[in-house]
Structure 1
Amino acid sequence: MSIRSPAAFVTASAPGKVILVGEHAINRGQPALSVSIGLYARCRVAPLKTHQFRLHSGKERATVGHEDLTALRQWVERQRAAEAYSEIQALAARDYFAPAKYILALMLEHGLPTGLSIAWASEIPTSSGLGSGGAAFTALVAAAGALLPEPPRLEQCAAWAHCGDIIAHGGIASALDTQTSLLGGVLRVTSHGLAQHVPAAPGLALIVGNTGVIAATSAVNGRVRRWLSEAPDSRMAYFQTIGTLARLALPLLEAGAWQPLGHLLNLNQLILEKIGVSCPEIDQLIAAALGAGACGAKLSGSGGGGIIIALVLPEQRQDVAAAIAAAGGSALMPAINVPGVTIQKQPSSLRRINQ
């Protein structure tokens, strides 16, 4: 991988994601299966002559200096060491750019220029389960990494992007979102090392249904932690069962056995309901999708709102999408299994970061 660039500015585009099987269980030592989707966050990074970082995303703007970034990093690491997750959650709530600042503070140790203009634009709905934050952090790492004296290794890029999600999600987050955005494709993700690409038969087709209900990932994750802590010996079995479903799904994905795979998605959803991360709007869209003939359907992401995914046969796409819309959701049909993050340096052409 080589992303070093002398260009005046660099733009990186990173895809979103959905989770086929495994949310919440991956934070507890179980595997998960994810797939990249063709909705993108983009980050444009350009050097400045001043020793400032100017950050811009939508209506949000901030200017921060090298010393401020260093102080934030030190504070975050003290809170993480003390497992003071509520403090990190509060930081993310009051400082929109806190995750990006933490990433930049980490990259400063590797020669990142101390003056940069950084701007984001995204077509991924926020707080929906589509990995909008993870894609934004991955795009930042890819674009800023092109300005380092030495090209960062893929594993280093993955670690930096993951740190952004850790802050955004209140101190604990899996690397699923950022690694799916970084690597692209259909992936088996675990809590250790880089995700692995897994074979998927042609014809894998998903409909995304957005409930429009916004639920903060950090808050949902906190509820799950409290639920598990009330009876850890018995309730951990639910997360272990989700891990079993992820393992059973692998040969079905490879074989294109969509109906049996859909049954596993349904079982995953039942467990997520038991854990307490579904909601009436999610249940309503799932019922509509299954009623229209989907092979299976479940929430995707942390839950509490956000999106569902429906596994369909290609000829069912329109019927399932119409049923989701009729049930009050917004139906999306993005491309799936798309490549991971790409960078574009002016005036060079587009290429993949993980070549």
Structure 2
Amino acid sequence: MPECGLLVSAPGKVILHGEHAVVHGKAALAVALGLRTFLRLRPGGGERLRIHLPGVGVRREWDVAELRALRGRLTGGANSPSVEQLDTLKEFAGIAADASAPDSLAILAFLYMCLAISAKYGDVPSVDITVWSELPTGAGLGSSAAYAVCLAAALLHACGAISCPLKDGEATARWTEEEMTLINSWAFQGERVIHGNPSGVDNAVGTWGGALRYQSGKITSLKRVPMLRILLTNTKVPRSTKVLVAGVKEKILKFPAIMNPVLDSIDAISQECQSVLEAMPTNPSPEYYPVLEELFDINQHHLNVIGVGHPSLDRLCRVTASHGLHSKLTGAGGGGCGITLLPPDATPLAVEAAKRDLCACGYECWETDIGAPGVTLHSSSSLNAQVLHALSES
């Protein structure tokens, strides 16, 4: 490992189309978000393993010999977290048995991944790891998966299981398909520690980037999708995904003849959008954008019909429509986040005015893009000053 260490990033994700319908066997499109999580790994000193997560106020360190002894006490499969393994790790780290706070789960996932990966590929590494994210937690934007992907890449490299493809003079580099498959498989185990029974979509988007289609447990990567500019808006209205999913199911059972065609229509929107996205790179015509905008509008109406809308999201759509822009909710709905497409002819003046009006509603707003690259290795010169500062905090 070079003395300067390793700089890794992975993107968050948004659902473009197919929310809720995916639970009922329909297709969903997930896309990588321009907002990323960044990790810096440096050689440690004094046989210590350290992790620093400035965003959630975590700074922990352990003696490597202690961790080796702990690893010997873990029973069960090397890469599938069991209740017994996690209970042992919680006790070791002083984490409450029923802990669900992001900082506790982040420490737990880190310890599990470090010990499980080192058990398979080498010794417990003596390294300092700092992780900082542009992604808000708990907003349905794949922040935990981006964290797990970064950890998997860094720990696999520290244990010698994957290469360091970044050459002198290069700004960024990607791993081979085989290495990314390995990163993804371990990131999924980290997601299991945090979420229990995840779909695997978030970590797959974090690993490969671009866009993925998910249907009935099968994940397919879309080939050559364009980068699209969006506004991402967090209404900051809390919601329970579990309650919203149960509400949709209840409505389908109550009105099957009405609701099932709506789910079929959402499925058709996902398929139509996939066709458009895959056609755009070879024929970058501006005529595609009105189609994408219309699909946003139709799907947003459908999501209101199935009961996952919210006044805060209606307001978001009205505000952006007043500036000639088209929006829809993304994720569970009932509050949470929305996305607004920014076509090439959207003027900077209109975008700034929309952002100003959204912030005046008490929302948080980012101008970013979708279709971003997956897990990436960076030179320090390729990262902006804010990221480098956050990762250099001692």
Q: For residue 143 of structure 2, what is the aligned residue in structure 1? A: 132
Q: Does 1:312 align with 2:342?
A: yes
How far, CA to CA, are the matches of 2:49 and 2:313 in structure 1? 40
Larger radius of gyration: 2
Among candidates 11, 18, 24, match of residue 15 of structure 1? 11
Change (3 A) 1:49 1:128: same
Work out whether residues 112 and 144 of structure 1, in 8 Å CA contact, stay in contact via their aligned partners in 2: no
Among candidates 89, 94, 100, match of residue 92 of structure 1? 100
Q: How does 1:1-355 map to 2 (within 5 A)?
A: 5=1, 9-46=5-42, 48=44, 53-58=49-54, 59-63=57-61, 65=67, 67=70, 70=74, 73-75=81-83, 90-93=98-101, 95-97=104-106, 98-115=108-125, 116-151=127-162, 153-168=179-194, 170-190=195-215, 192=217, 195-200=220-225, 204-215=228-239, 220-228=240-248, 230=250, 233=253, 234=256, 239-253=263-277, 254-255=279-280, 257-294=288-325, 296-318=326-348, 319-327=350-358, 328=361, 329-344=363-378
Look up the equivalent residue of 1:264 and give its one-letter code.
Answer: L
SS at match of 2:329: strand
Cα displacement (A) at 1:259: 1.7
Cα displacement (A) at 1:77: 8.0
Work out whether residues 20 and 245 of structure 2, in 8 Å CA contact, stay in contact via their aligned partners in 1: no
RMSD: 3.6
Q: How many residues align?
A: 330
| Deviation readout 1:203-235 (Å, 9 max, x if unpaired) | x332222323455xxxx2321343355466536
How far, CA to CA, are the matches of 2:115 and 2:267 in structure 1? 35
TM-score w.r.t. structure 2 length? 0.70
Work out whether residues 39 and 334 of structure 1, in 8 Å CA contact, stay in contact via their aligned partners in 2: yes
Where does structure 2 lack aligned partners over 5 or more consecutive residues?
A: 88-95, 163-177, 281-286, 384-394
Change (3 A) 1:286 1:73: same
Percent identity over the alignment is 27
Where does structure 1 lack aligned partners over 5 or more consecutive residues?
A: 80-87, 351-355
Change (3 A) 1:191 1:167: farther
Change (3 A) 1:269 1:11: same
Cα displacement (A) at 1:73: 3.0
Work out whether residues 9 and 345 of structure 1, in 8 Å CA contact, stay in contact via their aligned partners in 2: no
How far, CA to CA, are the matches of 1:300 and 1:284 in structure 2? 15
Higher mean Cα deviation, 306-315 or 96-105? 96-105
| Deviation readout 1:144-203 (Å, 9 max, x if unpaired) | 1212333373223212223333443x423332322222112233344546541334467x
Look up the equivalent residue of 1:60 and give its one-letter code.
Answer: V
Higher mean Cα deviation, 156-165 or 187-196? 187-196
TM-score w.r.t. structure 1 length? 0.77
